[in-house]
Structure 1
């Protein structure tokens, strides 16, 4: 507990406010008891006691840090008030239920009298039970009330007035660090004199000094960007987790895909090492705490094969970490007095001129000095003082005793800033302790959670707007900071808290808000009220089992950290059926991103106090009817539920529902009865189908937020009808989609234009989509520069339009897509608009043209248009030619597909040179289906190009260059280019050749290629290697039907080969003389019958992974002598298999057996799997496609086994589950129909024996 920090009481204050609201004399609750006078008196007594406790609460908060008895009293009060709140909330639920039932009985006007009349349906036992619970609650509170005097607590009334502050855009400032920035940049750009490939530069300093800010400033510097071929940033933080770090770095460099989700650490580290090999990279490891040298050495080994000049920046607070990682550390000093004052002044005097307030300036300089040169302290404290204009207010901060108290890493400035917060902001800030460190959270989500837990005071307007003001207030005080959103085209803002601010929130929440992974013992869990946990792939049963006893839990929030991908996870049925229903006090529940198809109906009967329910990104088809009984529900999120088809018919029962999000629910049509949700303030993602709904319905919907779609616009008759939509008034809609049916035709083009003109959105719009518009030209609003927030625009299938609007005038447009515009023949100067100062399309990042069959000319202004364009895509525009160069100095990616006349450019060296000489930053080029391309002049392409893909260019030839080819690519892909006959001269780290049927019989492997894929090249017969050898590490050959020979002398010429795949190459007869390279680690052979038959010895001492699709004689496999180094073995299409084959595999961890073994009925038959017990390292066993297998006995399984997978064994009817190894943690059984009923949850014969297994999947459903 930190001295001087008022903690915990903020949540008590919130709970008391809820209770006072419910106990209002004229509310539904007391009216329900109006005939039970004794109960009414008890309610009044409860209110009096709570009021007496509330007026000493502020004093108790201030004294608890220095008085352990007051602290204990507050903890007991928290428990007692929580109990009282739950009781009152349950009673209030009954009052709401009676109110709703009264409405459904068609009472003309549901009144309090009608609520009290309806209570006749409640039994006398109900009221007796309530009376007893009330009396018990009052007794507990009376005991605490009597202790007030002995504890010396004084009455203290806190003003509820809140200061008005600005929603200033808090910028990232670096003051006084220019020398450190230049020093770090120089270190990164300089080459090591000793030729060392990898240099680690640690930045060390105490928390709040700006280590991360310094690293960010350098990371984004243009000089640094241009120097390194690959950059990645990853926040390590605590606890140290090698698997998480490896996955994160793979995601950062773009090498992580969905197949990697279930890979183990060794596989992922091998992939990361391979991805970095030979590249000059810069990696930032931010916030490193771990000082275990062995773990650091293991991590560093992943980077050592990078190119010379690769660098790693490490930020850390620990000197020991810095010394361990590198000897060229940068030690961060505190800011100078001058820099400290500049930073403080920039934030504290945002709204005033310091020269006009000399008294404040004098005190401010003294306060800045007390911050001791720490940027975080300066910004936070200055942010707090920004709105205080009285000198005494500043002096009170200067004279505070907190400056002199011990603070154990929580800066005094942060403590002062927290204590200065009004009570409502204290509780909202403290609640954010449920977020992990370095977790980027969404503003919308945070506000919803605050509201659900009663932390936002109800005002006269929309409660969400109040929550937004709270959030902006905390941000203005630098407690929240905005961070970039890594998801492409996602304009949603993300925020996080500095580590020290996060520590402050944890202390302020007084263990009420915790992260499950960081909880220490069951006692800490039992004290918690709000809990988050990191999502995982195991179904969550084992992780969430400790929640069984948490009956007081108010928030359960799964956390998914990676915003770059749409991660989806399974959730155990045992969690849904057994754990969640016990959490009856829940106010906020998120099941987002879980692959749930169906929710149990009784779940929401138990969780009747829910106010926030997030089911977004789930697989549900419909909501259970019990959802309609959540009368307290205020927020329901259903966005991106791709399978959701309908909402419950009685959704109108949700009388408190304020916020409903149904955006991106493609199968859901907006129900007509949503209009009956009288409390609805925010409706997101609505689809208005004009026909079932009228324009008047759209106009009357004043609660629309987020995205709105208006479909079937061909049903709108004229301008007068379109006016009724009132689109210009809908200032909270940020995405508008307007759609006409493609099958419809227009009678009057002017009428169509008038209709679209009246559908002009409010100026706050951020994204517009227009599809199937039937007019011949567009209204002027589409290019109105007053749309200052418009960032994305899509125009599609407007086939009658013959011109494009002047979209170049939109000042902040970032992404533009134009598709299916069949009437466009030219893109003229009109497209750019007339500008006086700014360049046309001055903010555009991405531009896409597609399916424009008549487009012939693209007129170029040559005035520096598209100055920020990074991605250009032109698809299926067969008549377009690009004869006039377009100067695109920022372009990074260029795609041309199905544009034969554009392809001609690549045949004309001079024309191509004029087109690309302005592309100074081009990195990626894709050419598809351009049959006119006959040559490709690599020699004149810019050296910035890293990735090239060419497909469907059937006439393309690649002539060897004169002299050595200078360009070196990261990746080159050639597909369906039938005239290419030689690739040996190409210089690419990764080369993929697909369906190039004219490749010569002898395929010469390029010397610099490290990853080579040759797929479906039917005329290749032999692979060869140049005399000097190659750097090849991975070779994949698939579908080369005539291939007979692998390269000779592979051990000598391919010493670096680690991964070899041979698939569907039936003519390969043998490995080369001398065998495969000794260093080979992964070998995959499928449908290569001649190669596998007759094989006995493998002679691969380093082999770790072997996969074979066997198609040989039954006896031959018995003679295999497999390397003992193998850790993963997959054998498919077996006809026989003896455990004798596996006897040497003492390191085996994963075994998959799949094939036709019709004679096998038991896993214990003589000679057939008679024992896996000697496989003492085996962790996972996968059995697939055994048509007659009937029995698997536990005696066949080794004690080390942790996972068993059984798939497609239709006659398997017995699984001895009693003797499962104690290490067993995962059971997957799919397509074994005779076992399904035996494994059914709570019903099946086997269930009692397997119920303890953390992860169980039956027929792809997580139990």
Structure 2
């Protein structure tokens, strides 16, 4: 049941109460959802135990109700959601109903959200004979800023606890941690036990904590999320020493967090720490390191065996089984752990918005790492200083975006991209000059590579060589996208010779790329090409050599000239004043054709649409001198025609008035401007 939202004051709460009372459903109803109701109270049938089959109930934005109905009387209720009751201040005994020692006897999910005036929740702390919520598995309280007091202390079946934006609600961790609890998420909550640990951590005896851990804090919790916790400088010991089954940890917006744990703690308790699998740290501006490291842990003069032993001893077991690591928006983080290569289970690494991070460890790729994404790291100059075991790498996805100081991906001699790489994405790295070190090692061998996207890298001049027929190099390349690389001058021949599976090719806004590779001119290599986007304002002679008609799989073709006059003052157009060039025809498989940005183009030849029986979409834009269109040759399959930036042609195509309109009226969608 949902009431519409009116902006005026025409709604009468008394009338709405009467209407809702008359809408009493059948007693066999299983689900009830009420939204936007503005009566001052609920009718008596809501909460009536005669609704013995009701399992799911939600009250959403019932803004005038100051109390809740006796929902604890519903014998089969399993899910209860209460949201946006803006005037409710107290949840008292009436919520549980009359009689019975176990209200909400089957309730499994309980959620309160956006209760801005809610101050008090009665939970029978003074009456131990009444035990509500004995079957609740999920408890969520969000955005209840005035709620004071404490949570119900007896939640024996609780699995998931989520509390967010409840700045006055007291959460005593020792009371809510039951053997069944597996997931905790707390944000902007005053944690009394956490606060005590923080203030007294230097006074607490570690052995006493370990001895009492099993009896007081069961180790069933596998997921913990905390945020906006004041005075949190490192992980409290009830996390590192008591939550032994913890697999996923998320820390957000803890402004004083500097590191997760200190060196002496991880050494002393290396055998009694949990082993995280997922770790996410976000919005912690004082974080300088994940954990403390010895300054001389990686001294090159040490004996190899001794060094390996020290690395193993120095690496806390809490991260040895880490599979997923995300670090986001940590302003002071300057480096990642030197022992990062020893995280032998790490498969995904994400680093975002860390402006002080200047480089990655020089120890190379992690052999297990499959996905690496870097975004908005202003000081980062290179990703990898040395890749001595590149052939052992399993990296599949490498994505780098908005790193303005990055000059190359790999800065060591003889380095290369991993042969397992499937996706390479580099976007808005303004100083990037080369993918690999400039003086040598400029060849790539990537038989698994599927997607290459390089966009808005102003200083990039060329791509590394890709030797054709070298272990089926680039045999799986399906998409090559080069956009906005203003200084790109050269694409090596090998990128097209072996790319027999290339389906999508997009080369645009690369002003200095004046010649097409021979492999592209001999278009026979690209038998699988389905879409082709090219900005060819300076390629007149080369474009003539492209045999487009031989592209039997091509579905989409977009050809554009100069983006603006200022960008290319001497642009001559594809063929001066006419298209196609020298009678070159388009492939008969074409469905979508775009042409634009040619200021000198005056005419589209009637041969252009010859045999295009499948063409459905045609767009012409930015050709101010274009004055004719072979409308009688347009294929009947055309579904959409778009024309813009060609004033003379636009007048001829004007709906109902233009000279060409009788020939265009049958097209379902004609957009002329």
TM-score (norm 2): 0.64
Query: Aligned partners of 2:47 and 2:171: how far apart in 1?
Result: 40
Matched, 1:1056 2:474: yes
The answer on whether the counterparts of 2:241 and 2:274 sit within 8 Å (CA) in structure 1 is no
- Contact kept? 1:804, 1:830, Cα under 8 Å: no
- Give the secondary structure class of the aligned counterpart of 1:874: strand
Partner of residue 1068, structure 1: 488
Q: Confirm or deny: 8 A CA contact 1:935 1:956 kept in the other structure.
A: yes
- Residue 1152 of structure 1 corresponds to 593
Residues 939 and 967 of structure 1 are in contact (CA less than 8 Å); yes or no, is this contact kept in structure 2? no
- 1:1189 and 1:1140 map into 2 onto residues whose CA distance is 18
Specify the alignment match of 1:893 in structure 2: 278
Q: Counterparts of 1:870 and 1:1194 in 2: how far apart (Å)? A: 68
Distance 1:1190 1:807 in 2: 81
Q: Is contact 1:1171–1:1196 with CA below 8 Å preserved after alignment?
A: no
Q: 1:974 to 1:829 in 2, by over 3 A?
A: same
Structure 2 residue corresponding to 1:1023, chosen from 435, 440, 450: 435
SS of corresponding position for 1:939: helix
Find out whether 1:1107 has 2:519 as its counterpart: no
Aligned: 1:829 with 2:174 = yes
Deviations 1:242-261 (A, max 9, x none): xxxxxxxxxxxxxxxxxxxx
Structure 1 residues 899 and 1174 mapped into 2: Cα distance closer, same or farther (>3 Å)?
same
Give the deviation of 1:1019 after TM superposition.
0.7
Tell me if structure 2 keeps the 8 A contact 1:684–1:707: yes
For 2:443 and 2:614, locate their aligned partners in 1 and report how far apart those are by CA, in whole Å: 42
Conserved in 2, the CA contact under 8 Å of 1:1138 and 1:1169?
Answer: no
SS in 1 for 2:512: helix
Pair 810,1153 (structure 1): closer, same or farther in 2 beyond 3 Å:
farther
Residues 708, 764 of structure 1: CA spacing in aligned structure 2 closer, same or farther, 3 A cutoff? Answer: same
Shift of 1:858: 4.3
Counterpart among 876, 879, 892 of residue 253 in structure 2? 876
For 1:941 and 1:777, the matched residues in 2 are separated by: 50
Structure 2 gaps, min length 5: 7-15, 181-212, 298-310, 388-392, 562-572, 645-649, 656-660
Tell me, in whole angstroms, the C-alpha distance in 2 between the residues paired with 1:1173 and 1:970. 48
**Structure 1 737/1170 Cα, relative in aligned 2: closer, same or farther at 3 Å?**
same
Check 1:923–1:1075 CA distance in 2 against 1; reply closer, same or farther (3 A cut).
closer
Check whether the contact 1:1024–1:1048 (CA below 8 A) recurs between aligned residues.
no
Mapped to 1, the partners of 2:162 and 2:507 lie a distance apart of 44
**TM alignment of 1:813-1212, pairs within 5 A:** 813=159, 815-823=160-168, 828-832=173-177, 847-852=224-229, 858-860=236-238, 865=243, 867=245, 871-880=248-257, 882-883=260-261, 892-901=277-286, 904-906=289-291, 908=293, 917-918=317-318, 922-937=322-337, 939=340, 941-962=342-363, 965-984=365-384, 985=386, 987=393, 988-1000=395-407, 1006-1008=417-419, 1009-1024=421-436, 1026=441, 1029-1031=444-446, 1032-1048=449-465, 1051=468, 1055-1056=473-474, 1058=477, 1059-1072=479-492, 1076-1079=496-499, 1081=502, 1082-1091=504-513, 1098-1103=521-526, 1104-1110=529-535, 1112=537, 1119-1122=544-547, 1124-1125=550-551, 1127-1133=554-560, 1138-1140=579-581, 1143=584, 1146=587, 1148-1156=589-597, 1167-1168=604-605, 1170-1175=607-612, 1179-1184=614-619, 1186=621, 1193=631, 1195-1197=633-635, 1204-1207=639-642, 1211=653
The structure richer in helix per residue is: 1
Query: CA shift at 1:1034, angstroms?
Result: 2.7
**Equivalent residue for 2:56?**
706
Residues 923 and 946 in structure 1, CA contact (< 8 A), matched pair in contact too? yes
Secondary structure of the structure 1 residue equivalent to 2:72 = helix
1:1121: how far off? 1.1
Match of 2:19 in 1: 673
Which of 761-770 and 991-1000 deviates more?
761-770
Quick one: distance in 1 between partners of 2:17 and 2:584? 64
In structure 2, do the counterparts of structure 1 residues 878 and 870 end up closer, same or farther at CA, with 3 Å as the change threshold?
same
CA offset at residue 975 of structure 1?
A: 0.9
Distance 2:23 2:492 in 1: 75
Check 1:1093–1:1072 CA distance in 2 against 1; reply closer, same or farther (3 A cut): closer
Retained in 1: the 8 A contact 2:17–2:41? Answer: no
Residues 905 and 1066 of structure 1: CA distance in aligned 2, closer, same or farther (over 3 Å)? same
- Residues 757 and 786 of structure 1, relative CA distance in 2, 3 Å threshold: closer
Return the alpha-carbon distance in structure 2 between the equivalents of residues 1091 and 894 of structure 1: 44
* Residues 132-178 of structure 1: CA deviation (Å, up to 9, x unaligned): xxxxxxxxxxxxxxxxxxxxxxxxxxxxxxxxxxxxxxxxxxxxxxx
| Structure 1 residue 1017, shift from structure 2 partner | 0.7
**Cα gap change, 1:1087 to 1:792, in 2 (>3 Å):** farther
Q: State the Cα distance separating 1:918 from its structure 2 match.
A: 4.3
Cα gap change, 1:996/1:1114 in structure 2, threshold over 3 Å: closer, same or farther? closer
Assess if the C-alpha contact under 8 Å between 2:217 and 2:243 holds in 1. Answer: yes
Instruction: Tell me how large the CA RMSD over aligned residues is.
Output: 5.1
Task: Measure, in 1, the Cα distance between the counterparts of 2:177 and 2:341.
Answer: 31
Q: In the superposition, relative to structure 1, how do residues 825 and 1041 fare at CA in structure 2: closer, same or farther (>3 Å)?
A: farther
Unaligned runs of 5+ in 1: 1-637, 647-669, 1221-1226, 1234-1263
**In 2, Cα distance between equivalents of 1:1098 and 1:1073:** 10
User: Structure 1 residues 802 and 772 mapped into 2: Cα distance closer, same or farther (>3 Å)?
Assistant: same
- The 3 A distance-change label for structure 1 pair 1215 and 1050 is farther
Deviation at 1:1038, TM superposition (A): 0.9
Aligned equivalents of 2:247, 2:640: Cα separation in 1? 46
Query: C-alpha offsets along residues 1197-1227 of structure 1, whole Å, 9 cap, x if unaligned?
Result: 28xx6x7444576856447589x9xxxxxx8
Contact 1:795 1:818 in 2 (8 A): yes
1:861 CA drift (Å)? 6.5
Q: Is the 8 A contact 2:82 2:111 kept in 1?
A: yes
Aligned to 2:104: 762
How far does the alpha carbon of each residue in 1:684-710 deviate from its partner, in whole angstroms, 9 at most, with x for none? 4634557x2233337646566524125
SS at match of 2:346: coil
Where does 1:517-596 land on structure 2 (aligned, <5 Å)? none
User: How big is the shift at 1:971?
Assistant: 0.5
Partner of 1:794: 140
Is this contact kept in 2: 1:816–1:846, CA < 8 A?
no
1:729, distance to aligned residue in structure 2 (A):
1.8
CA distance in structure 2 between the partners assigned to 1:1100 and 1:1129 by the alignment: 16
Judged with a 3 Å threshold, the aligned counterparts in structure 2 of structure 1 residues 1140 and 931 are, in CA distance, closer, same or farther, namely same
The whole-number CA distance in structure 2 between the counterparts of 1:832 and 1:915 is 29
Mapping for residues 622-701 of structure 1, pairs under 5 Å: 673-681=19-27, 682=29, 684=31, 686-687=33-34, 692-697=38-43, 700=46
Count matched residues. 538
Relative to structure 1, the CA distance from residue 678 to residue 700 in structure 2 (aligned partners, 3 Å threshold; closer, same or farther) is: closer
Separation of aligned partners in 1, 2:514 and 2:533: 8
Shift of 1:794: 2.2
Alpha-carbon distance in 2 for matches of 1:791, 1:1066: 57
Distance 2:119 2:25 in 1: 42
**2:201 — aligned with what?**
none
* Distance (Å, rounded) in 1 between the aligned partners of 2:154 and 2:401: 40
